[in-house]
Every structure is written in C-alpha cells, then in structure tokens.
C-alpha cells in the first residue's frame, strides 16, 4: 500500500436558506438529467439497436439546456450534471460486465439526494469550502482534521431522509500505510446471539441497535400511518421516522468500524465465511435480526481496511460444514439443528457450536492458502453448489485441513 490511497472524509454542515435552496435545485436537476439520459440510452437500444455513451449524452445535455422546457438546467452548476452522466456511464459499464443490475430511474422520494463537484466546481482555501454558484462558504463542522497538505479532488454534497446535510471530501491520505506484520490469524463466525465469535474463543456481543430503538420506531411509524397522505404533518412524521432509522444506522456503523479496525490491527490473516446475505434475509423469521446485525457491512469494512493496512481476508465457501465438523478429530456430524449450541463428539470433545465453527473456518482458510488456491467461491459447479477453488498441489485439501486444524488447536 502506498500514499496514493484515497479516502472520503464526511462531515455535517448547516447550509443557509439560500444555500439549501440552491442545493435542492441542483439535486433536482441532477436527477432530471440522469433520468433523461437513461431514457435516451434505453430508446436508442430498443428502437435502433445503438449503444449511447457518455460523449453522446454530454452533447444531448448541451442541447437540452437550449430548449425552453429545460432551460432551468442552466441555473445550476454544470459540473454535477456532467458528473451524473459519468455515473450513468459507470452504471452501464458494471451492468454489461454483469456486476450489477440494469440502471434504474431516480425517484424524487426514494433516491439519494446528492451532487458531486470536481475541482472546477468548488474552491478549497484555508480550510474553507465554497461551491459553484454560491456566494459564501459552507458552514462545515470539522469533526476531524484532513490529512496534512490534503487537497480534495472531488466534493459530494448530500441530504439524507432525516434532513441532515453532509459533505464528503475525497483526498489522498498518506497516513494509510501497511501495518507491521504479525503472526496471528483468526477465524470469524458471524451470528445473531453473538455478532462475532472468534477462533480464540472470544465472543463479541450483538448490540441489537434496531431492537433497542424498536419502541421509538414503532411509535413514529404508527404516527406516520395516521397522517393524511401528501399533508405537511405526514412529511414531518416521515422525517421523525427517518431520524430514528438514522440513529440506528449511525450506531451500527460506529460499532462495526471500531470492531473491524481492532481485528485488522491485531491479525495478519482473517478468515470469514462467504455468506449470501441477500438470500438469507428471505427467511421471514431471521430477516430482521440478520439485517440488524449488519453482516454485509461488516465484511465490506473488513475487506477494505485489510487492503489498506496490508492484511489478508480469506472467504471460505458458504457450504463448508463448519458447525458440524469436529475441530479436534475432523468427524462430521450428520445434522446440527440451530437450537443445539453445545455438542459432544465421539472423540469425547465437548464443543461450543460457534467457537468450533470459528476454529474450523480458520483451519479451512489456512489450508486453502497453503495449497495455493483461490479464496473466492466457485459458483458454477455441478449441482449448483459453490466450492473452494483448488489448484493442484502435492497434498489434498483434506490432508491440509487436518494439519491446519492441529495448529489451531495447539
């Protein structure tokens, strides 16, 4: 890792009435241009079989500004409008590469209200940030300093559903360097009763942020349901609901940031399961608890922080029987219902279900690493199940798993 790592530093700010009005107009114009360009690209493909790229949509934007119907696009800065066309181009690139779904139209009520400014659209001087089309700098609450000598390359302004305003500054952070190498490795089993169970035996509790605020959320949602649609009172009630959700999300994010930072600092290798969270939340009995735990966010934070600081994250196959496998002798139990939290193997070893799973996850991850195999699951295997990619090597994966299991149990 080098000094070219870019980080986004997000801060709250409090706009004046004039700034709020200007930004709201910008958000609307950004959404309008995105939808118009998306419709043009869809029409070009369905009617003429043509692919329209960024250059063509940029030329269309110039033409739209000259029309009487869309003349209001000239009232806001042109930089966010050009940036939304680039975002649309990136969305189609991901779609054609089969990494994402087809781009969808932005909604005034549901889509994120944001606008991105490049260096030609803002001025950064002496710790003050001024955006194009504005007469005074933003009132930003600098909760933490930017890196020394950092100059933002892009600035993204957004407003969330709770009415809070944020500004995100993307800049290079020279302080992000690889940490000194350590010999420790850890297997991590995620759960609901305990958010994380480590192969060391440590259990990290699940704060259950949504459950703690569930009573307040229920009251706010019931009050919202009683309000007349499209009324001012309903809009105010909607904001109150959004504030409860924002408080829950902020607490969850803060907790996950702290725990992932600690794990990355303490361990050189981190082994997790490649869980299909989007499929798991279809279980109506567990969907709320899984969403509250934030398993997907935990993995995202862990992976990018490991990349920053020179650590390794290994994801073992989701179908690996970590809970049913004895970490001492390797015996496989036929069934293991969810209500069974402790069990005794035929070898006489009594296991805590989650600790045993974490140890098996660690052993499997280290075995795959020793074998020189890939760590991502292979999707297209017979029977539709995924399996760990394995390159030919002198020892079988099963033999390596036994050796690594013995190391873990030392």
Report the number of distinct structural domains present in the chain.
2
Looking at the fold, whether 168 and 288 belong to one and the same domain comes out as no
8-state DSSP, 317: -
- Token readout for 65 is 């500004």
Residue 377: band (very low, low, confident or very high) from pLDDT cuts 50, 70, 90: very low
What's the sign of the alpha-carbon dihedral 401, 277, 97, 29?
Answer: negative
Looking at the fold, whether 378 and 403 belong to one and the same domain comes out as yes
Judge whether 402 and 326 are in contact, CB under 8 Å.
no
What is the number of alpha carbons within 13 Å of residue 145 lying toward its C-beta?
A: 6
Tell which of 172, 197, 223 closes a domain.
Answer: 172
Helical (H) or strand (E) element with 94: helix 78-96
Residues contacting 310, CB < 8 A, separation 6+: 1, 178, 179, 181
- Token readout for 140 is 């930003």
Helical (H) or strand (E) element with 181: none
**pLDDT of the residue at 242:** 95
- Given a cut of 50, whether residue 387 has pLDDT beyond it is no
Domain with 139, as residue range(s), is 6-172
Looking at the fold, whether 53 and 195 belong to one and the same domain comes out as no
Q: Burial of 186 by CB count in 10 Å (0-12 exposed, 13-18 middle, 19+ buried)? A: buried
Residues 102, 272: Cα–Cα separation, whole Å: 30
3-state helix, strand, coil split of the chain in percent (to 5) is: 45, 20, 40
* Average pLDDT value over all residues in the chain: 87
**Residue 389 CB neighbour total at 10 angstroms:** 15
In a domain, 221, yes or no: no
Looking at the fold, whether 120 and 87 belong to one and the same domain comes out as yes
pLDDT digits (tens, 9 = 90+) for 218-248: 999 999 999 999 899 999 999 999 999 999 9
Q: Biggest alpha carbon distance in the chain?
A: 82
Catalytic residue check, 189: yes
Looking at the fold, whether 195 and 325 belong to one and the same domain comes out as yes
In a domain, 157, yes or no: yes
Tell which of 119, 149, 172 closes a domain.
Answer: 172
Looking at the fold, whether 194 and 157 belong to one and the same domain comes out as no
Strand blocks (E) in 293-371: 312-316, 342-344, 350-352
**pLDDT of the residue at 375:** 44
- Token readout for 6 is 């870019």
In a domain, 227, yes or no: no
In a domain, 101, yes or no: yes
- Token readout for 34 is 């995105």
The residue from 22, 172, 210, 273 that is catalytic is 273
Looking at the fold, whether 200 and 272 belong to one and the same domain comes out as yes
In a domain, 54, yes or no: yes
**pLDDT of the residue at 385:** 37
In a domain, 230, yes or no: no
In a domain, 228, yes or no: no
Catalytic residue check, 404: no
The residue from 172, 189, 292, 317 that is catalytic is 189
**Residue 261 CB neighbour total at 10 angstroms:** 14
Residues 156, 113: Cα–Cα separation, whole Å: 10
Looking at the fold, whether 203 and 72 belong to one and the same domain comes out as no
Catalytic residue check, 303: no
8-state DSSP, 133: T
**pLDDT of the residue at 386:** 40
In a domain, 55, yes or no: yes
Looking at the fold, whether 81 and 143 belong to one and the same domain comes out as yes
Judge whether 322 and 363 are in contact, CB under 8 Å.
no
pLDDT digits (tens, 9 = 90+) for 207-224: 999 999 999 999 999 999
Residues contacting 337, CB < 8 A, separation 6+: none
pLDDT digits (tens, 9 = 90+) for 277-318: 989 999 888 899 999 999 999 999 999 999 999 999 999 988
Rama region for 197: left / alpha / beta (φ>0; ψ in -120 to 50; rest): beta
- Given a cut of 60, whether residue 372 has pLDDT beyond it is no
pTM given for the model:
0.83
Q: 3-state class of 339 per DSSP?
A: coil
Judge whether 210 and 255 are in contact, CB under 8 Å.
no
- Given a cut of 80, whether residue 384 has pLDDT beyond it is no
The residue from 210, 292, 317, 354 that is catalytic is 354
The residue whose two tokens read 């969907």 is: 287
Tell which of 172, 190, 220 closes a domain.
Answer: 172
Task: Report the 3 state secondary structure along 139-169.
Answer: CECCCCCCCCCCCCCEEEEEECCCCCEEEEE
Query: CA separation (Å) from 233 to 49, 171, 183, 381?
Result: 48, 41, 59, 55
What whole-number percentage of the chain has pLDDT above 90? Answer: 64
Nearest CA to 169 out of 194, 195, 138, 191 is that of: 138
Looking at the fold, whether 13 and 114 belong to one and the same domain comes out as yes
**pLDDT of the residue at 14:** 96
- Given a cut of 80, whether residue 390 has pLDDT beyond it is no
Looking at the fold, whether 144 and 192 belong to one and the same domain comes out as no
Residues 256, 335: Cα–Cα separation, whole Å: 32
Looking at the fold, whether 336 and 401 belong to one and the same domain comes out as yes
């Amino acid at each position: 890792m080098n000094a070219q790592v870019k980080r986004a530093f997000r801060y709250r700010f409090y706009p004046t009435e004039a700034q709020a009005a200007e930004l709201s107009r910008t958000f609307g114009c950004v959404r309008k241009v995105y939808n118009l360009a998306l419709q043009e690209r869809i029409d070009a493909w369905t009617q003429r079989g043509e692919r329209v790229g960024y250059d063509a949509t940029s030329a269309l934007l110039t033409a739209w500004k000259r029309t009487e119907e869309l003349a209001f696009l000239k009232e806001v800065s042109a930089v966010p409008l050009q940036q939304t066309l680039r975002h649309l181009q990136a969305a189609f690139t991901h779609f054609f590469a089969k990494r994402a779904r087809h781009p969808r139209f932005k909604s005034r009520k549901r889509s994120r209200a944001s606008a991105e400014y490049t260096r030609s659209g803002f001025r950064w001087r002496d710790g003050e940030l001024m955006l194009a089309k504005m007469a005074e700098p933003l009132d930003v609450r600098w909760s933490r300093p930017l890196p020394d000598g950092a100059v933002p390359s892009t600035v993204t302004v957004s407003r969330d559903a709770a009415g809070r305003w944020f500004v995100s500054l993307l800049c290079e952070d020279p302080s992000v360097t690889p940490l000194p190498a350590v010999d420790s490795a850890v297997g991590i089993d995620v759960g609901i009763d305990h958010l994380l169970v480590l192969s060391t035996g440590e259990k990290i509790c699940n704060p259950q942020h949504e459950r703690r605020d569930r009573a307040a959320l229920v009251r706010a949602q019931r009050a919202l349901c009683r309000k007349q649609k499209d009324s001012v009172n309903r809009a105010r009630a909607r904001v109150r609901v959004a504030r409860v959700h924002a408080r829950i999300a902020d607490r969850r994010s803060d907790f996950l940031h702290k725990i992932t930072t600690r794990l990355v600092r303490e361990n050189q290798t981190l082994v997790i399961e490649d869980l299909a969270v989007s499929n798991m939340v279809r279980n109506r009995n567990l969907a709320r608890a899984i969403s509250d735990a934030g398993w997907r966010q935990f993995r995202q934070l862990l992976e990018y922080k490991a990349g920053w600081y020179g650590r390794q994250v290994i994801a073992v196959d989701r179908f690996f029987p970590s809970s049913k496998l004895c970490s001492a002798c390797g015996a496989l139990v036929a069934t293991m219902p969810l209500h069974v939290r402790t069990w005794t193997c035929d070898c006489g070893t009594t296991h805590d279900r989650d600790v045993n799973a974490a140890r098996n996850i660690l052993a499997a991850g280290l075995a795959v690493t020793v074998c020189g195999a890939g760590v991502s699951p292979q999707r297209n295997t017979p029977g539709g199940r995924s399996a760990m990619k394995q390159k030919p090597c002198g020892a079988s994966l099963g033999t390596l798993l036994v050796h690594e299991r013995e190391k873990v149990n030392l």
